[in-house]
Amino acid sequence: MIKESSAQLVLEAALSTGGDFAELYMEDTVSNSLMMVNGDVDNATSARVTGAGVRVFSGVRSAYAYTADTSLDALIGAAKAAAAALASDSRMTVVPFRPADYSVAPRIPYATIDNAARIAKMREAHLAAKAYSEEIAQAIVSLADIDKTMFVCNTEGVWASDRRPRMRIAVQAVAAKDGDSQTGSDSPGYARGFEGFELIDPAACGREAARQAVTMLHADECPAGVMPVVIDGGFGGVIFHEACGHSLEATSVSKGNSVFCGKLGTQIAAPCVSAVDDGTMEGEWGSLHIDDEGTPARRNLLIENGILKGYLIDKLGGRRMGMEPTGSSRRQDYTFAPTSRMTNTFICAGKDDPEEMIRTMGDGIFAAYMGGGSVNPLTGEFNFAVREGYLVRDGKIVAPVRGATLIGRGADVLMKIDRVGPRMWMAQGMCGSLSGSIPTNVGQPRIRVSQITVGGKGGTL
């Protein structure tokens, strides 16, 4: 993307006012996005975005400037703009670069695929959703693929590049009857080329979205109360991601804005709980070969048998915390400075019988599929919707329920997990934070929380 001699000039300009670290990030991203509504292609767009950003540190202070113009003059201009925001007596030099290319080309690049092939996959999902039931009133299918090439170099000698293809299909089905309607969805994706469809069955996605919608259409309102809840795997991991994962990022920890500050080596979860953030899982939605600071991705153990073992740390957060980066620095694109973020984050598999969890829980709720929610990272307090839930009476699933919400604090819920199943699986999402929206996987096995507050309009359990 840039010659070494030119990059050195940019970094030297960034250090011109006395910063002690400088970094240049560049990207070239090609994307395609299509939407189909009830079988008709409603929108199709293609875009190419290029740009660069320059970041400067002075101690734990930082400044960032970016530009869509990647000419040498524009890059030096951005470097000087960032440098102007910081001034110190430090005088650093640029360490000789150590070139490393982590790029792996997709087996089937998106550039070799025409929109007819994309539309054929979308139509499979649409037809399957509509065929599932006469109660499916609408099916919306979207497909997006992105091929990003990124490069980063810095004054410590990093010179690294990576290629990041990602693809995802999303199906939303609406079931309606007698003036009532409910939605269901399924949206798998991978960090792969078009060969990702070898792992995704579009028709199965359509049927799953329709099944959820029809099931919830015939569900009663969920009762409220404090009760045991079994939460299934996959998207069930969104609670750990939001209520705990964000509180383990240096973005919060380094500023003292996390409930888990100063808790390394202490028990923060039940002994049956271990958790990991792993950016090295080949081809997974949240994976990368290097982070956006050029640090190789790695598997980070966060919790082991209930004991807090680690945080997710970027370079600036590491300076504040006196700790090394963990390959966790990410950003949406060049218009954002990077910060600590999750990749593929999950509760690890345990040994408990998934059926026994329900059989011995008494009265409660089985949350088969979680929806969105909100969380306060400082306190860990959360409120999450249950997209697909079932009432459990005397250890037996008796009926679907809708409108359920799970309410609590992440630290409390971690301590109240008393069962963890043997099979972990993940689901795909987009995570928003200070450095923009990025692809992340959430995951867990089926787990049981012995007691949690459930909100609902169906009376008291």
pLDDT of residue 10: 98
Query: Does one domain contain both 193 and 103?
Result: yes
Query: Does one domain contain both 192 and 240?
Result: no
State the pairing for strand pair 225-231/364-375.
parallel
pLDDT of residue 169: 98
pLDDT of residue 155: 97
Query: Does one domain contain both 80 and 183?
Result: yes
Average pLDDT, the chain: 96
Query: Does one domain contain both 328 and 305?
Result: yes
Domain containing residue 101: 4-217
> What CATH number is associated with residue 153?
3.30.2290.10
How many structural domains compose the chain? 2
List of E strands, 187-286: 189-190, 220-221, 225-231, 275-278
pLDDT of residue 459: 86
pLDDT in tens, 406-441: 999 988 999 999 999 999 999 999 999 999 999 999
pLDDT of residue 351: 97
The whole-angstrom separation of Cα 55 and Cα 43 is 37
Q: What is the mean pLDDT of residues 232-236?
A: 95
Residue 377 pLDDT exceeds 80: no
Q: What is the mean pLDDT of residues 293-307?
A: 98
459 versus 426: which is more confidently predicted? 426
Q: What is the mean pLDDT of residues 351-372?
A: 97
Range list of H helices, 28-105: 72-84
Q: What is the mean pLDDT of residues 299-326?
A: 98
What is the percent of the chain where pLDDT is above 90?
93
| pTM, rounded to two decimals | 0.95
Inside any domain, residue 378: yes
Query: Does one domain contain both 181 and 238?
Result: no
Q: What is the mean pLDDT of residues 249-277?
A: 96
pLDDT of residue 91: 74
Query: Does one domain contain both 421 and 436?
Result: yes
Inside any domain, residue 69: yes
pLDDT in tens, 47-66: 999 999 999 999 999 999 99
Q: Which two tokens stand for residue 293?
A: 């600071």
pLDDT bracket for residue 192 (50, 70, 90): very high
pLDDT bracket for residue 398 (50, 70, 90): very high
Query: Does one domain contain both 344 and 233?
Result: yes
Kindly report the number of other CB atoms within 10 A of residue 315's CB atom: 24
Query: Does one domain contain both 315 and 264?
Result: yes
Inside any domain, residue 461: no
Kindly report the number of other CB atoms within 10 A of residue 282's CB atom: 10
pLDDT in tens, 156-185: 999 999 999 999 999 999 999 999 999 999
pLDDT in tens, 25-50: 999 999 999 999 999 999 999 999 99
- Of 199, 217, 235, which residue constitutes the final position of a domain? 217
pLDDT of residue 213: 98
pLDDT of residue 380: 80
Inside any domain, residue 295: yes
pLDDT of residue 239: 92
First CA to last CA across the chain, in angstroms? 62
User: Please, which residues have CB within 8 angstroms of residue 154's CB and are 6 or more apart in sequence?
Assistant: 11, 21, 22, 23, 24, 293, 294
Q: What share of the chain is helix, strand, coil (3-state, %, to 5)?
A: 25, 45, 35
Query: Does one domain contain both 18 and 98?
Result: yes
Q: What is the mean pLDDT of residues 237-252?
A: 93
- Of 217, 248, 269, which residue constitutes the final position of a domain? 217
What is the percent of the chain where pLDDT is above 70?
100
> Torsion over CA of 177, 180, 183 and 184, rounded to 10 degrees?
-50
Inside any domain, residue 194: yes
Inside any domain, residue 451: yes
pLDDT bracket for residue 135 (50, 70, 90): very high
pLDDT of residue 436: 97
- Of 184, 217, 250, which residue constitutes the final position of a domain? 217
Residue type (1 letter), 38 = N
Query: Does one domain contain both 39 and 177?
Result: yes
pLDDT of residue 236: 94
Query: Does one domain contain both 179 and 312?
Result: no
Query: Does one domain contain both 265 and 404?
Result: yes
pLDDT of residue 93: 84
pLDDT bracket for residue 154 (50, 70, 90): very high
pLDDT of residue 82: 97
Inside any domain, residue 37: yes
Residue type (1 letter), 66 = Y
pLDDT of residue 261: 94
Q: What is the mean pLDDT of residues 292-296?
A: 98
Inside any domain, residue 460: no
pLDDT of residue 296: 97
